[in-house]
Amino acid sequence: RRLCASADTRQPLAYLRLRRAIRTVVEHRDIEPGQALPSERDLSQALGLSRVTVRKAIAGLVEEGLLTQRHGAGTFVAERIVKPMSRLTSFTEDLRARGLNPRSEFFERGIGEVTPEEAMAMNLSPGVAVVRLHRVRYAGDEPLAIERSVVPASVLPDPMLVHDSLYEALERRNARPRRALQRLRAVSLGAQHARLLHVPAGSAGLSIERRSFLDDGRVVEFTSSWYRGDIYDFVAELHTD
């Protein structure tokens, strides 16, 4: 019903409106993770849209990771968190797009002198000041990841500017990263990380390092994360050229 109400078919680019409408439905949990979407045919009939339009809207959301398609079975709201690797998004944005409630618990939110290792990783001069964040990232009560971020104080002068989301704080300072390099590695979670993530020690995890940059090439963050392997899928579109 909500889909019908918000997918105004008179609009040009109806597929974009339908895409937005489906996203809203998922965010409001009108269709829960794991549940099926109405079939393409039913959607196109109910909304008075062509099958091509419906298919295009769904394809976009599959690419975003919000929906998954099982051959012959239909289209479902994704159960695992599917994160497209080619998009430079934040933890907060990824979760909100799925109707989940992102939250951080801080172990550390301070400022100090860069360590030689961090200075090398971020191409900073020895001795400059950096903000350090060490947090467990939650969806509601469920811990999903542990993150350690280092940000030059020249970009973010005060760690308390980060209330929950680092990228929101950077955005407010006009320093939202535009490009990033990311490394993913399979790990088995050690006792300490596993305890914080509420999984048995030795569970599968993904270690992710991200170095992100401003347009002018300055480094904004160096973040090491440990994501739960039982919840996250990282997907990418590949091209031959």
CA distance 134 to 108: 5
Q: With binding defined as CB under 6 A, does residue 15 bind ligand GLP?
A: no
Q: Which is nearer to ligand GLP, 75 or 223 (CB)?
A: 223
Q: Is 149 in the site for ligand GLP (CB under 6 A)?
A: yes
Asked if residue 53 binds ligand GLP (CB under 6 A), the reply is no
222, two tokens = 């160096």
For the CB of residue 101, give the shortest distance to ligand GLP in the complex, in Å.
12
Q: Choose, by CB under 6 A, the member of 69, 165, 203, 207 that binds ligand GLP.
A: 165
For the window 102-141, what string marks contact with ligand GLP as x by the rule CB under 6 A?
----------------------------------------
CA-CA distance, 19 to 168, in Å (whole number)? 25
Of 91, 132, 144, 199, which one interacts with ligand GLP (CB under 6 A)?
Answer: 91
Q: From the list 53, 77, 92, 219, which residue makes contact with ligand GLP (rule: CB under 6 A)? A: 92
Q: Which listed range, 7-15, 45-53, 55-63, 88-96, lies at the site for ligand GLP (CB under 6 A)?
A: 88-96
Per CB under 6 A, contacts with ligand GLP among 199-228 are: 208, 210, 221, 223, 225
Write the binding mask 171 to 190 for ligand GLP: x where contact by CB under 6 A, - elsewhere: --------------------
Contact footprint for ligand GLP (CB under 6 A): 90-92, 147, 149, 165-168, 208, 210, 221, 223, 225
